[in-house]
Structures are given as C-alpha cells and as structure tokens.
C-alpha cells in the first residue's frame, strides 16, 4: 500500500466526501485538458496518483461512490449510443517484447513446447504493429453484415455503417474460396497526411485541435453520422481473424494473402522467417522504414505461421502464446528550446509550453512540448524526485524530445554541453498572463505540501477561465438551467453574447442575436455535413422555425431559475474548493446571500486571521476559508457577483422544522448510491423535515435509506432491526 492510500483510512466520512468531489473535479479537468484542449495540465505521475487516491477512497467508503464514478469509465469500453456486439471469438491482445533477448526467449518457449516433435521447423511471420484501433468485420456468404470495435475484447460497439465508409474494407468479398462465415480482423488507422489535412481544415474553421492520428481515428470511428467518418478517409489493414466456419488457409501467411485476394488492404511488409536472427533482422528493416511509412507503427508482431501449431500452443489470459509484439523504443530527436509560453487552462492552471525549433519525430513535425509545471522545468517533481537527473530547462537549451504512442512530446534530456553560456534559470511568472491576477501555488492543508501547479486567482474575471465557469454555473447540480448545456454556453460565449453569468439573464433582451447565433451554428453544421457527404441538404427553413420555438423555451427556463436555492447558487459561483456539500453548509450557516457576502468580506479584511470573524462551520477548514478570503478580497469578483444579484434573488435558506412530518426527530442514515437526488440534497431535505442525519448506524438509528451498492451499514441496520427503506420508500414517507 502506498503512503497516499494509507492516509485515506484516517479520513472522516465528511472529509472523504469532500476529497472525492475534489478529485472527481480535478481528474475530469485533467481529462478535458488532455483530450479536448491538447494542453495537459499535470504530469502523468500526478494524474495516476489522483486516480489511485480516488479509487482508494471509494474502496474505503463504498457508500460515497458517486453514480457518475470515474472508476466505472473503463477506457475503450463500449460507449453509450452504439449497440453492443458480442464477438463470436474474443479479440485478444498480444504479449510484449522490449529487447532482443525477449524475442529469443519467445522462440525458446516455442522450441520447448514442441520439443517432442523432433524435426519440426517453427516458421514465424513478422509484420508491422499498426498503431490504430482494431476492428472486427463479420462476413456471411461473402457479405459484410456487422462491423465492431474491440471494446473490452469480449463485447464491442456496432459501428458497421462507419466501417463501411473505409475504402480498404470491401462490402462484398471478391474472388472465391471464402468461408461461409468469417470475422476478419485488422487495424483502422489514419495517415499523417490525412491527420495534417484535418488539423488544417479544423484550424481554418476555428474548430477543435486534434492530439494525434490514433485518437483522431478513434474519434472518427465513433461518429454518430457516418458521413463524418467518411470525410476522415480512414484506412484499414487486415491481419487476423476471429470466428471462421473454416480455416481461411493452413498458415497465417497464406491466410493474409487470401484476404488481399478478397479485396482487403494488407501490410506489404509481412514476411516469413525461419530463425530468430531472421525475425530480428526483419525488425530492424521495418524500424528503418518506419519514418517513411506515413502512418504510426509501434513495433513488429511475430506470429507462428502454421495454424494447427497455433492451436496446439494455445492461449493464456487473453493473449495467444504463439504471437508476440516486439515494441519499438520511444522515438527521440534533438532540437532547441526557443521560447516558453504560459497557457492558462480552463481551471486557471498556468501550463508552460515549450516552443521548439521544428523537428521530425517518427514522421510527425513537432514544434511544441509540454513542460507541465514550474517544478518540472526546475528538474524536480512534486514528490521531490529528480526529473532528467535534476537538470533544469533553460531558454536556448538543446534538448532531446521523445514521442511515444499517445503521449504528447516530452523533453527527456538537456544536452548540457550545448547550453549557451548566457543561459539563466527560467523564472516562472507569478501573475496570470491572461488577466494579470496573482498566480499562486496553494498549500495542501493536510499534507502541508505546495501544489506543483501555479494557479490564477482571477476567479470570475479571468477570460481563460470564463467558459469553464459558465458551464459550471448552468450545470445540473448548480443552477440547472434546462436547455442551456455546455454546448449552448460555448456558442453564446464564442458569439460574444455571454461573458459572465449575469449575461445569461439578459439574453431575452437580445433574442434576435441569440436566434442569429443558433442559425449560424445550424448553417455551419449543415455545410459540414454537406461537404462530408456530397449531398445537398433540405429542410433548412423548418429547422429555422424550430429555432424560434426553442428560443421561447430557453428564455422561460432561464426565468424559472431567477430565484435559485441559496446552496445551489453558492455552488454555482464556482469558488475554488466550494463543492456542493460545502456550499450547503455555508448556506445553512449564513441563511442569506447578503450575510454570506458580509462575512466573506469581513474575513477578507482580516486576511491575517480570518478565523476571528468566520463562524465555525461543520466541515469547513483553512483551505475553504483561504479560498473565500481570496475570492472576497478581489474587487472585480464583487462586480461580477453584484451584476448577478441584479438579475437573480437567491432564496434565503430556511430550516423549516416541521414537527408534524413523519420523520421529525428521527435519526436517518443514507447509504449506497441515490439516483433521484444527490447526497447533499437528500441530507438537506431530511434536515428541513426535522430529522437528524447521521453517518453511521447504531442503536439510535431510526431509518436507514439504502440505495444500490449499500454494504456494511445495511448489514448493521438489518442486524439491529432498524427500518430500512429504498429511495422511493423514503420519498413516499416524506411526501405523506
Ligand atoms: S494480431 C491474436 N497483428 O495490437 C492476435 N495485432 O496488442 C491478434 N495490432 O489489439 C492481434 N497491428 O489492435 C495483430 N499486425 C498486427 C497488429 C496488431 C496492430 C494491434 C491490435 C491488437 C493489439 C494487440
């Protein structure tokens, strides 16, 4: 067990909940930064540590597991929206070899397995390992009937229509001699040329950036609209098969040649080898050709050629014994660091980006590399471990960069011999380059450790953070404005209709501009589809008419939220470290927004000892108070809040203890996950009705509300004979 996980054991339930919420948000932000913004904000080790801690908390406190738990999102598992397909034969993965010796050992294992067959010669094929996504194509009587992703190996997604758009995949097998039914397997990939062209098109249209060909191919395959997939010009190599009503041929080599005869593209680099030396020689040949191929490959796959022998050697734990992937080392190149730019992420994190003299690494021109954070540039990570042997990075340095698979280029080494005499240590800025607010490194209350990331304190005023704040403001657990999701917020922001939250409430006054924005987006989408499919569109007018109707609904939904609950409103402000639970505690303590602001400002005025004015609130520690002090200490935040309060009137938080309610005076424990409300809401509701909410079950407990996943608390309740209700039972009871 690591030090971090041990610590989890000591958390109280309230601390664990707050910590889980914080991690949920941080991991989500890191994912978005990586996958959407192409600007990772943290280094892999930190990310992994956060994920581990998240899981450790879930294990220690199963009843705190969120319904939207990140642990349930398995990378590559089927996504919603596509039907699931069970592969008739599972899609296996491959064991890996990293060194020549690993390959020698692999061949030795084969020799030993077939020891008794005296004169048997083991022949292997060698072919490139394509860095794409595997897919399985089911042909019945020569006709493509279903195409699926790998998924978790057993069950994938039905993406038949998308796969049919790939020119290398025949809809009907050519030639003759194919088995009645066969699942052809291979790799979908995107060439560098296609990737660069898409990036350029997208940049010209002000669209999203794309990280690498592999991720882009994956995204392209999961499009709802096959016309979009078609526009991406994906490619496919066939190299294996799953279920087959008859062997396609007696050997691997001949089978793949049959695939070519049936109309598939197959790798021209596959050869047969009789000795380990031949395999290793082919590895070097393919490695030498790698940068000229025009698409990513990440190794060479060796397969035992004879199918009867393959079957005899067999499979272990999802990997065939008879095949192995010999991986290439990560590709490196040397270049010069010309400049360091500081990007401000959507959560306010200052992310340094290295601007390099352009250099080709494995066929891709690299001009940028992530520098992660201040410590990374200095040469030590947040655990104090040296990075690059503790060598710092300076402007003008000659550096070795590395690109490996999905990973964004990294600076792995500084060539000190080439460091210019004039180079000085890099000074990381202490102000936000976007809004000019101080950028600080927070100290973790528990560990006493400084955060590796410097963060802009501009809260509501920093343009870089505006979108993320607006999205949070309207989100389901915050203001929950129907019909105003992240997509519309992005649109209104980019069209200049909404800059801060207050602007949302004046949209009705600008109805015409809103309509124009919707119209513009619709036109752009239609044009994209038209370009992708080559088909002219129809029904533009009726779409426009629907927009008018939608507008009225949207404005009505906004008006309906002009008197939000105080706790939701405080949460919606997105003040750092104020999650739902803390917001509810603050609302309960202060009762009204005015009182909250008054105390917040007073605390800010006593910044040296804010505890003096701040009442003791359950679950609120120095981190939250520090955050309130910096929020209320910034005049520009005041202006934003004042503008908002001119539009909305948060309802005072009233604790109505209704003595006549069924649950007044009772002690209630919630356990397991709730589906109709959040934990915070459930707790607040129970308290409004005069109940006391406890964290653990004892003889004093009157009611246990148990949702799916309830564990030890439910058991104790049953042992003690306490009344147990499910969520609906509870709602029925309180309704009475
Ligand atoms: S054979 C029974 N051949 O590598 C073996 N796989 O780590 C099935 N891959 O999921 C795979 N190029 O996505 C095979 N020439 C190749 C490959 C290849 C890429 C991928 C494939 C598979 C993964 C296994």
- Whether 298 and 152 map to the same domain: the answer is yes
Residue 239 in contact with ligand 1 by CB distance below 6 A: yes
User: Which residue, judged by its Cα, is nearest atom 1 of ligand 1?
Assistant: 240
Report the SS3 class of residue 355: strand
Convert the pLDDT of each residue in 213-237 to its tens digit.
Answer: 888 898 899 888 899 899 999 999 9
Mean pLDDT of 580-605: 91
**In the prediction, which pLDDT does 410 show?**
86
User: Distance between CA 441 and CA 450 in Å, rounded?
Assistant: 6
- Count CB atoms within 10 A of the CB of residue 593: 23
Q: Does residue 453 sit within a domain?
A: yes
Q: Does residue 68 sit within a domain?
A: no
For residue 31, the domain's CATH number is 1.10.287
**In the prediction, which pLDDT does 4 show?**
38
Which range among 36-40, 391-395, 547-551, 554-558 shows the weakest confidence by mean pLDDT? 36-40
- Whether 340 and 241 map to the same domain: the answer is no
User: Distance between CA 273 and CA 103 in Å, rounded?
Assistant: 13
DSSP annotation of 166 reads: -
Check pLDDT > 60 for residue 540.
Answer: no
Check pLDDT > 70 for residue 122.
Answer: yes
User: Which residue, judged by its Cα, is nearest atom 6 of ligand 1?
Assistant: 129
Report the SS3 class of residue 21: helix
User: Which residue, judged by its Cα, is nearest atom 8 of ligand 1?
Assistant: 92
Q: Does residue 397 sit within a domain?
A: yes
Convert the pLDDT of each residue in 323-372 to its tens digit.
Answer: 999 999 887 899 999 999 999 887 788 999 999 999 988 667 899 998 98
Higher pLDDT, 10 or 501: 501
User: Which residue, judged by its Cα, is nearest atom 12 of ligand 1?
Assistant: 129
Mean pLDDT of 200-218: 75
What residues are annotated to the active site?
129
- Whether 514 and 602 map to the same domain: the answer is no
Confidence of residue 407 (pLDDT cuts 50, 70, 90): low
Q: Which of 96, 130, 109 is nearest to 276 (CA)?
A: 109
User: Distance between CA 516 and CA 520 in Å, rounded?
Assistant: 6
**In the prediction, which pLDDT does 48 show?**
61
- Whether 320 and 386 map to the same domain: the answer is no
- Whether 498 and 351 map to the same domain: the answer is no
Kindly give, in sequence order, each residue whose CB lies less than 8 Å from that of residue 671, ignoring residues fewer than 6 positions away.
63, 697, 704, 705, 706, 707, 710, 711, 713, 714
Residue 256 in contact with ligand 1 by CB distance below 6 A: no
CB burial class (10 A; 0-12, 13-18, 19+) of residue 105?
middle
**70 Cα–ligand 1 center, Å:** 28
Convert the pLDDT of each residue in 469-499 to its tens digit.
Answer: 898 999 888 999 988 988 899 899 989 999 9
CB burial class (10 A; 0-12, 13-18, 19+) of residue 62?
middle
- Whether 443 and 471 map to the same domain: the answer is no
Residue 125 in contact with ligand 1 by CB distance below 6 A: no
Q: Does residue 70 sit within a domain?
A: no
User: Which residue, judged by its Cα, is nearest atom 18 of ligand 1?
Assistant: 129
User: Distance between CA 558 and CA 385 in Å, rounded?
Assistant: 50
DSSP annotation of 233 reads: -
For residue 594, the domain's CATH number is 1.10.150.20
- Mutating to test ligand 1, I would choose from 96, 130, 241, 286 the residue with most ligand atoms within 8 A of its C-beta, which is 130
Confidence of residue 291 (pLDDT cuts 50, 70, 90): confident
**300 Cα–ligand 1 center, Å:** 10
**109 Cα–ligand 1 center, Å:** 20
Domain that holds residue 534: 461-559
**In the prediction, which pLDDT does 443 show?**
81
- Mutating to test ligand 1, I would choose from 89, 93, 127, 316 the residue with most ligand atoms within 8 A of its C-beta, which is 93
User: Distance between CA 262 and CA 686 in Å, rounded?
Assistant: 67
**In the prediction, which pLDDT does 173 show?**
97
Ligand 1 atom with the shortest distance to the CA of 93: 24
Q: Does residue 133 sit within a domain?
A: yes
- Whether 184 and 53 map to the same domain: the answer is no
Of 611, 645, 679, at which residue does a domain stop?
A: 645
Residue 183 in contact with ligand 1 by CB distance below 6 A: no
- Whether 571 and 699 map to the same domain: the answer is no
Q: Does residue 66 sit within a domain?
A: no
Higher pLDDT, 619 or 108: 108
Give the pTM: 0.51
What rounded mean pLDDT belongs to the chain?
86
Of 507, 536, 559, at which residue does a domain stop?
A: 559
Q: Does residue 76 sit within a domain?
A: no
- Assigned token pair, 263: 């109309």
Check pLDDT > 60 for residue 37.
Answer: no
Helix (H) or strand (E) holding 299: strand 297-304
Going by their DSSP bridges, the two strands 703-706 and 692-694 should be labelled as unpaired
**In the prediction, which pLDDT does 448 show?**
75
Between the ranges 76-80, 141-145, 716-720, where is the mean pLDDT highest? 141-145
- Whether 527 and 633 map to the same domain: the answer is no
Residue with tokens 């202006």: 639
Convert the pLDDT of each residue in 41-93 to its tens digit.
Answer: 455 556 666 777 888 888 778 778 877 777 665 333 334 579 999 999 999 99
**In the prediction, which pLDDT does 547 show?**
59
**In the prediction, which pLDDT does 29 show?**
67
Report the SS3 class of residue 270: coil
Check pLDDT > 70 for residue 256.
Answer: yes
**93 Cα–ligand 1 center, Å:** 7
- Mutating to test ligand 1, I would choose from 129, 190, 282, 296 the residue with most ligand atoms within 8 A of its C-beta, which is 129
Higher pLDDT, 407 or 88: 88
User: Which residue, judged by its Cα, is nearest atom 2 of ligand 1?
Assistant: 92
User: Distance between CA 82 and CA 229 in Å, rounded?
Assistant: 15
Mean pLDDT of 677-681: 69
- Assigned token pair, 372: 């992660």
Residue 320 in contact with ligand 1 by CB distance below 6 A: yes
CB burial class (10 A; 0-12, 13-18, 19+) of residue 301?
buried
**In the prediction, which pLDDT does 353 show?**
93
Q: Does residue 573 sit within a domain?
A: yes
- Whether 286 and 149 map to the same domain: the answer is yes
Q: Is the CB of residue 519 less than 8 Å from the CB of residue 544? A: yes
Confidence of residue 276 (pLDDT cuts 50, 70, 90): very high
- Whether 139 and 255 map to the same domain: the answer is yes
Report the SS3 class of residue 694: strand
- Whether 221 and 321 map to the same domain: the answer is yes
Confidence of residue 405 (pLDDT cuts 50, 70, 90): low
Check pLDDT > 50 for residue 310.
Answer: yes
Confidence of residue 528 (pLDDT cuts 50, 70, 90): confident
Residue 313 in contact with ligand 1 by CB distance below 6 A: no
For residue 515, the domain's CATH number is 1.10.150
Domain count for the chain:
6
Which range among 95-109, 343-357, 605-619 shows the weakest confidence by mean pLDDT? 605-619
Helix (H) or strand (E) holding 590: helix 580-590
Of 281, 299, 327, at which residue does a domain stop?
A: 327
């Amino acid at each position: 067990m690591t030090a971090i996980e041990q610590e989890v054991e000591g958390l109280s339930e309230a601390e664990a909940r707050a910590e889980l919420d914080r991690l949920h948000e941080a991991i989500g932000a890191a994912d978005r930064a990586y996958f959407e913004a192409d600007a990772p904000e943290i280094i892999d080790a930190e990310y992994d540590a956060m994920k581990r801690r998240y899981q450790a908390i879930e294990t220690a406190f199963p009843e705190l597991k969120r319904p939207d738990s990140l642990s349930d999102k398995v990378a590559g598992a089927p996504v919603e929206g596509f039907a699931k397909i069970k592969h008739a034969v599972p899609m296996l993965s491959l064991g890996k070899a990293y060194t020549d010796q690993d390959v020698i050992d692999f061949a030795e294992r084969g020799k030993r397995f077939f020891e008794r067959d005296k004169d048997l010669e083991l022949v292997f094929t060698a072919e490139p390992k394509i860095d794409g996504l595997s897919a399985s194509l089911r042909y019945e009587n020569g006709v493509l009937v279903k195409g699926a992703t790998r998924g978790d190996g057993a069950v994938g997604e039905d993406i038949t229509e998308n796969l049919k758009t790939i020119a290398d995949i025949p809809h009907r097998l050519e030639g003759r001699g194919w088995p009645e039914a066969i699942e052809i397997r291979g790799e979908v990939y995107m060439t560098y040329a296609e990737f660069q062209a898409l990036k350029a098109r997208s940049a010209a249209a002000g669209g999203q950036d794309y990280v690498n060909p592999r991720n882009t191919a994956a995204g392209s395959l999961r499009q709802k609209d096959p016309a979009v997939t078609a526009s991406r010009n994906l490619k496919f190599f066939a190299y294996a098969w799953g279920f087959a009503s008859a062997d396609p041929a007696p050997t691997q080599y001949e089978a793949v040649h049959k695939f070519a005869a049936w109309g598939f593209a197959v790798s021209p680099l596959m050869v047969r080898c009789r000795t380990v030396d031949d395999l290793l020689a082919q590895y070097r040949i393919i490695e030498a050709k790698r940068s000229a191929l025009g698409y990513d490959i990440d190794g060479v796959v060796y397969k035992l050629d004879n199918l009867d022998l393959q079957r005899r050697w067999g499979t272990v734990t999802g990997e065939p014994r008879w095949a192995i992937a010999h991986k290439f080392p990560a590709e490196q190149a040397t270049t010069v660091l010309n400049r360091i730019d500081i990007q401000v992420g959507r959560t306010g994190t200052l992310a340094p980006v290295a601007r390099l003299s352009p250099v080709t690494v494995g066929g891709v021109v690299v001009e940028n590399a992530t520098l992660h954070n201040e410590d990374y540039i200095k040469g030590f990570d947040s655990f104090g471990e040296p990075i690059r042997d503790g060598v710092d990075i300076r402007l003008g340095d000659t550096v070795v960069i590395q690109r490996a698979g999905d990973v964004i280029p990294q600076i792995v080494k500084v060539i000190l011999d080439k460091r210019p005499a004039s180079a000085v240590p890099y000074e990381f800025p202490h102000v936000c380059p976007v809004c000019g607010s101080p950028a600080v490194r927070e100290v973790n209350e528990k560990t006493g450790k400084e955060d590796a990331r410097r963060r802009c304190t501009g809260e509501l005023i920093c343009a870089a953070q505006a979108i993320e704040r607006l999205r949070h403001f309207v989100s389901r657990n915050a203001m929950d404005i129907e019909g105003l999701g992240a997509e519309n917020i992005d649109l209104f922001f980019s069209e200049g209709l909404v800059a801060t939250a207050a602007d949302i409430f004046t949209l009705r006054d600008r109805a015409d501009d809103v309509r124009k924005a919707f119209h513009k987006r619709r036109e752009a989408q239609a044009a994209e589809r038209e370009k992708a499919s080559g088909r002219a569109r129809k029904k533009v007018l009726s779409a426009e008419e629907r927009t008018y109707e939608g507008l009225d609904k949207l404005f009505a939904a906004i008006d309906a939220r002009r008197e939000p609950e105080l706790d939701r409103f405080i949460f919606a402000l997105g003040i750092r470290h104020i999650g739902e639970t803390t917001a509810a505690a603050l609302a309960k303590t202060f009762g009204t927004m005015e009182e909250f602001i008054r105390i917040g400002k007073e605390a800010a005025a006593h910044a040296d000892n804010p505890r003096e004015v701040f009442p003791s609130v359950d679950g609120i520690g120095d981190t939250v108070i520090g955050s309130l002090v910096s929020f209320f200490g910034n005049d520009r935040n005041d202006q934003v809040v004042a503008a908002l309060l001119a539009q909305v009137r948060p309802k005072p938080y009233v604790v109505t203890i209704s003595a006549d309610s069924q649950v007044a005076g009772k002690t209630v424990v919630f356990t397991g996950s709730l589906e109709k409300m959040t934990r915070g809401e459930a707790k607040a509701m129970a308290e409004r009705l005069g109940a006391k909410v406890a964290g653990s079950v004892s003889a004093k407990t009157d009611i246990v509300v148990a949702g799916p996943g309830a564990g030890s608390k439910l058991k104790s309740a049953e042992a003690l004979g306490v009344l147990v209700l499910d969520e609906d039972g509870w709602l029925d009871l309180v309704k009475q």
